[in-house]
Amino acid sequence: MTNFAQVAFRDCNWCGAQLVGMNQVWSQKQVQGASKKRSWAVYSCPNCAGVTCIELRIIQPNQASPGTFSHAVEVVEIQEIPESNRSRHQIKHLPQDVEDYFSDALRIMGAGVPDGAAVQLRRTLEAAASHHDVSERNLVQSIEKLIDKGLVTRDFGEVLQHIRKIGNMGAHATDERLGEEEVERALRFTVQVLKNLFEVPGELEELKE
């Protein structure tokens, strides 16, 4: 959740410019369709003039009437077109520390340092396990405990072991450097694990409420 004014500060998915102040081209709350209403904002990159379209959900019901957005309106981003790497890796309901480690991994990967990203992915798993009351002496034992508690399947356990091994390789000084492809695979695995541990239960809880 953020206010509308902050939505303009983002990476450009056309030229790769990072955290630029986008120029707002157009915005409209509650665009009426045949079956639903949706809210949108359109921005252009000051570097390449590429256009990015953002779908938004308004938090305060009393500010959801049709019209342009004011800067103070609290919103949640639903999707971004064209889609960014960050959007592809977006996971709902993450605890703050897990999200911080995971965001660090994405930033480091974007900077072209796969070794460092691998270490942050391992830390992401450790933080995720601790939020499910699993804090064993080492990550191997924590993974086994997650399986024993039924929080992940045995197959997911193998995925976690892979991420752990990649993280170990990134943390130790050796002649072998991790490549982007193998760390990208570990990143995709991490996304699936976090969705399984946090996003799916969080969405189900919202459904109950």
- For the segment 40-50, the average pLDDT, to the nearest whole number, is 95
- For the segment 175-204, the average pLDDT, to the nearest whole number, is 84
What is the token pair recorded at 183?
Answer: 């760390």
- Give the CA count within 13 Å in the CB-facing half-sphere of 60: 11
**Which phi and psi angles does 57 have, rounded to 5°?**
-115, 130
pLDDT, tens only, 92-116: 899 999 999 998 988 888 778 888 8
- CATH 1.20.120 placement within the chain: 96-208
Q: Tell me if 45 sits within 8 A of 14, measured CB to CB.
A: yes
The predicted structure's pLDDT at residue 154: 78
Q: Tell me if 190 sits within 8 A of 125, measured CB to CB.
A: yes
- For the segment 37-45, the average pLDDT, to the nearest whole number, is 96
* Helix ranges, 65-199 (H): 85-88, 96-110, 114-130, 139-148, 154-171, 180-194
Q: Tell me if 110 sits within 8 A of 85, measured CB to CB.
A: yes
The predicted structure's pLDDT at residue 56: 95
pLDDT, tens only, 160-185: 777 878 877 777 655 566 788 888 88
Chain centre to alpha carbon of residue 133: 23
pLDDT at 69 over 90: yes
- Cα–Cα nearest to 21, from 43, 4, 50: 43
Between CA 133 and CA 116 the distance in angstroms is 26
User: In the predicted model, what is the mean pLDDT of the chain?
Assistant: 86
- Among 12-16, 39-43, 173-177, 191-195, top mean pLDDT goes to 39-43
For 87, residues 6+ apart whose C-beta sits below 8 A from its C-beta are 79, 80
pLDDT at 25 over 90: yes
The predicted structure's pLDDT at residue 28: 95
pLDDT, tens only, 133-158: 888 777 778 888 888 888 888 777 77
Cis peptide before 114 (omega within 30 of 0): no
Between CA 101 and CA 81 the distance in angstroms is 26
- Cα–Cα nearest to 110, from 123, 102, 163: 102
**Beta-carbon count within 10 A of 15 CB:** 12
pLDDT at 193 over 70: yes
- pTM recorded for the entire structure: 0.61
Positive or negative torsion for Cα 186, 188, 189, 195: positive
pLDDT at 74 over 60: yes
Please provide the CATH number assigned to the domain covering 96-208. Answer: 1.20.120
